[in-house]
Structure 1
């Protein structure tokens, strides 16, 4: 519910800003390149994360998955007469983010038998974007809902226990700049922060060891798209 409310707030604020500014702008058609229209593109990047697991009795590990990812994105922009650009966009990526770490006890000791690992298999997002057109350049901010397939588990002497596998949802916020290299070809660079929250998990230490796992990530991505 919190992620839905946050995404709705981001979209409503972006809409109000663009419409309010458009209401006081002169009734003219923007000259030169116009960002209005749909687009579809390819993207790739590198992501690093913080994933903390803690059991009920204080045993913890930080298997922070990191790695490259790549996928597709598509969206639609509308440029107002005052050069504000409001858009909506969705993306989906396959991910190579992986991490493996030792497990530590509350007294500072280390579990010599087990290790904890985690990985993000895929991720996606649905976001609202608010930009400002400066000719063929458009700096923008964006935010909305995120989803990811997250897997984690335990190893003992390189033998793997059954893994925890679930689809996690969260929220994201970011900023970037886009450039219209031609009237049809758009290139971009973007930074994004994503928070998937903190969730209960049942690791195979037994029923007396319930745990909680959190996941946040940062990424830098580059993209190229075709504008319709």
Structure 2
């Protein structure tokens, strides 16, 4: 009986010690954070609008993505929950400046602009210094469109709304600094043009009526950040 009581007391003591230790392990992934982000960015026509019949159509644009992010994380036992926001840009663009269209005097350019993201993430500790997480939320992307028919040039912003999901791993270099690697997929399903002097807009704001869209965006990003 004495051995049993001693074993129970020892087990309870070990558990009492282990719980604060587990909470302390989470401390490298809690609190406010700021980070720089960079990586590969590709936007592609979604399945509803892609054109598999014409191989000459440029249905994707890719480039270098860069930006900043902020967030706040807190721990619930061994689970880390957080909210986050990002502002990024990209060098991806596409131009129609040769071939039959150029011979007819037509030209066009599509260039990526700023991308806003607001969402949340949830993760678990793979070890005391590594967090594995999933994320998701709202994203709004802007693309700059320039069209020229040889006599008239029109430039407008295309704003697209959609969702983003992703997954990644974050490694704590110290209690205040970290690096991370993640994959993100975004789909934009609604949009509007932002320009005047066009019959497509339906009010005095210079914005067109909203329309359905289908644009997929894939990104592989690395980040380096500081936690306060």
Of 34, 38, 47, 1:44 maps to 38
2-structure distance, mates of 1:213, 1:42: 30
With over 3 angstroms needed to count, the CA separation of the structure-2 counterparts of 1:183 and 1:160, relative to structure 1, is farther
Q: What does residue range 175-190 of structure 1 map to in structure 2 within 5 Å?
A: 175-190=167-182
Specify the structure having the higher radius of gyration (Cα).
Answer: 2
Question: Is 1:165–2:160 an aligned residue pair?
Answer: no
1:123-202 to 2 correspondences below 5 Å: 123-134=115-126, 135-156=128-149, 161-197=153-189, 199=191
Gaps of 5+ in 2: 1-15, 200-210
Q: Secondary structure, in 3 states, of the residue corresponding to 1:179?
A: strand
Take 1:124 and 1:201, find their aligned partners in 2: how far apart are those partners? 17
Post-superposition Cα deviations, 1:183-219, rounded to whole Å, max 9, x if no partner, equal 11111001101111254769xxx97xxx975422101
Q: Which runs of 5+ in 1 are unaligned?
A: 1-25, 104-109
- Aligned counterparts of 2:169 and 2:144: Cα–Cα separation in 1: 32
CA displacement 1:14-45 (0-9 Å, x = unmatched): xxxxxxxxxxxx99322435222111111111
Q: Any residues of structure 2 matched to 1:89-128 within 5 Å, and which?
A: 89-101=84-96, 111=101, 113=104, 114-128=106-120
TM-score, length-scaled by structure 1: 0.69
Where does residue 221 of structure 1 map in the other structure? 221
d(CA) in 2 for partners of 1:213, 1:39:
34
C-alpha distance 117-160 of structure 1, shift in aligned 2 (>3 A): farther
TM-score for the superposition, normalised by structure 2: 0.69
Give the Cα–Cα distance (whole angstroms) in 2 for the partners of residues 47 and 73 of structure 1.
16
Does structure 2 retain, via aligned residues, the 8 Å contact 1:36–1:79?
A: yes
Alpha-carbon RMSD across the aligned residues, in angstroms, is 3.5
The alignment of Structure 1 onto Structure 2 pairs a total of residues equal to 188
SS at match of 2:169: strand
More helix by share: 2
